[in-house]
């Protein structure tokens, strides 16, 4: 049995979720700001900034999904167990990444698989 203070973990995840939702909203607002006439250099800088903001938004949206999934696992009594192998996720990993859904071994395998797909 896992020794995790679930109410405290839920509160931590909900706090992170609220912060993340605010950050996502800020990024979306920034994306929608229209810039008045730009010269070519300003336009290039703006395009680069937009790509960075889109990458940040994508990462934030993935984290949002991961946190919501972790909250759902708490509700279902499955929090702290690997979604692939069903083994307990080490407490140190859950302290570092409270939204982790995979043990280290399965996370590494998932990343290898993703890297392999991208390389093809």
Tell me the pLDDT band of 47, cut-offs 50, 70 and 90: low
- Helix %, strand %, coil % of the chain (to 5): 70, 0, 25
Residue 117 pLDDT greater than 70, yes or no: no
In the prediction, which pLDDT does 54 show?
Answer: 79
Residue 34 pLDDT greater than 90, yes or no: no
pTM of the model: 0.74
Mean pLDDT of the chain: 84
Q: Which superfamily does CATH assign the domain made up of 6-119 to?
A: DksA, coiled-coil domain (1.20.120.910)
Q: Using an 8 Å Cβ cutoff, are 54 and 31 in contact?
A: yes
Tell me the pLDDT band of 119, cut-offs 50, 70 and 90: low
């Amino acid at each position: 049995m896992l020794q995790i203070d679930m109410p405290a973990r839920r509160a931590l995840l909900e706090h992170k979720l609220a912060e993340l939702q605010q950050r996502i909203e800020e990024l979306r607002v920034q994306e929608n700001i229209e810039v008045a006439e730009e010269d070519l250099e300003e336009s290039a800088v703006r395009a680069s900034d937009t790509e960075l903001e889109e990458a940040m938004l994508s990462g934030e949206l993935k984290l949002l999904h991961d946190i919501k999934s972790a909250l759902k696992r708490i509700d279902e009594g499955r929090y702290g167990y690997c979604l692939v192998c069903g083994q307990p996720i080490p407490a140190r990993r859950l302290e570092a990444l409270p939204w982790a859904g995979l043990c280290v071994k399965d996370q590494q395998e998932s990343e290898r698989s993703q890297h392999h797909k991208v390389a093809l």
